[in-house]
Amino acid sequence: MGPGWDCAELGAGAGSIAWWLSERVGPQGSVTAVDQDASLLGALADRPNVRVVQADLQTVDLGHDEFDLVHSRSVLMHLEDPDSVVAHAVAALRPGGWVFFEEADGGPAQRAARTGHLPEPFVRVMVPLAARWTWARGLADDVASLGLVEVRDDVRADLLEGATPAAAFWRQTLVRIRPLVSDAARMRALGAEPVDEDSYDAMLALLDDPGFSVPFAARHRVTGRRP
């Protein structure tokens, strides 16, 4: 992608990717940044080639033949109906336009857990989270079934290593969701076991340990072009 492209960023978050896109497309291009919570996108909205849309990805109207690129990262996997969002994204492409979806697959953590050689706190806290990440495995096939060509699934496995930016991200995430996953009644209503407090504390300590390193997730980087 480059100058003059019209792009959509689905799940813009704090705006880092949308900001980068706006720099690349220049004044002749545009970026539509969509997120259900646009509270962190105020500075981005001031850029003349950016339009911020606060909306649910599952209901927002992306239009037809609107974009040269539609991108998302680690957001579709969390939706109730991600396939419908993919279909709407494909419909929003102009002829020759591209989708680029980056989504996580928890397979590496699940496979490593079966070996019995992982720290118990990781098995109790992180593996159940990763076990839910299965949707991305069929994403390339879904994109191809919608008529796109040059479909590619570039899969890259990642380690989770302590005392890294990724570990800091997961530490913050675990702190925020702790009241939810440790709530016995809530978790059992969802068909899952609550996480005990000792395991949670031990997992947080591992994330601060530079000697901690385990297989965790694979990222599917799926691209496809509308003919």
- Torsions phi, psi for 111 (to 5 deg): -65, -40
For residue 65, the enclosing domain spans 56-225
Number of Cα atoms under 13 Å in the Cβ half of residue 211: 1
The pLDDT value recorded for residue 224 is 98
Does a structural domain hold residue 141? yes
Number of DSSP helices (H) and strands (E) in the chain, helices first: 9, 7
The pLDDT value recorded for residue 116 is 82
Does a structural domain hold residue 142? yes
User: For the packed helices 165-181 and 197-207, what is the interaxial angle rounded to 10 degrees?
Assistant: 170
User: For the packed helices 120-130 and 197-207, what is the interaxial angle rounded to 10 degrees?
Assistant: 90
Reduced DSSP (H G I as helix, E B as strand, rest coil) percent helix, strand, coil of the chain, to 5:
40, 25, 35
**What is the Cα–Cα distance from 224 to 205, expressed in whole angstroms?**
41
The pLDDT value recorded for residue 145 is 98
Does a structural domain hold residue 148? yes
The pLDDT value recorded for residue 198 is 93
Does a structural domain hold residue 111? yes
The pLDDT value recorded for residue 56 is 96
Contact 151, 144 (CB under 8 A): yes
pLDDT tens-digit readout, 122-175: 999 999 989 989 999 999 999 999 999 999 999 999 899 999 999 999 999 999
- Torsions phi, psi for 151 (to 5 deg): -75, 130
Retrieve residue 26's tokens.
Answer: 């220049």
Number of domains in the chain: 1
The pLDDT value recorded for residue 192 is 77
- Give me the tens of pLDDT residue by residue for the chain, a chain 227 residues long: 899 999 999 999 999 999 999 999 999 999 999 999 999 999 998 999 999 999 999 999 999 999 999 999 999 999 999 999 999 999 999 999 999 999 999 999 999 999 888 999 999 999 998 998 999 999 999 999 999 999 999 999 989 999 999 999 999 999 998 988 888 888 788 777 888 899 999 999 999 999 999 999 999 999 999 99
Backbone conformation region of residue 223, classed left if phi is above 0, alpha if psi is from -120 to 50, else beta: beta
Q: CATH no. for residue 211?
A: 3.40.50
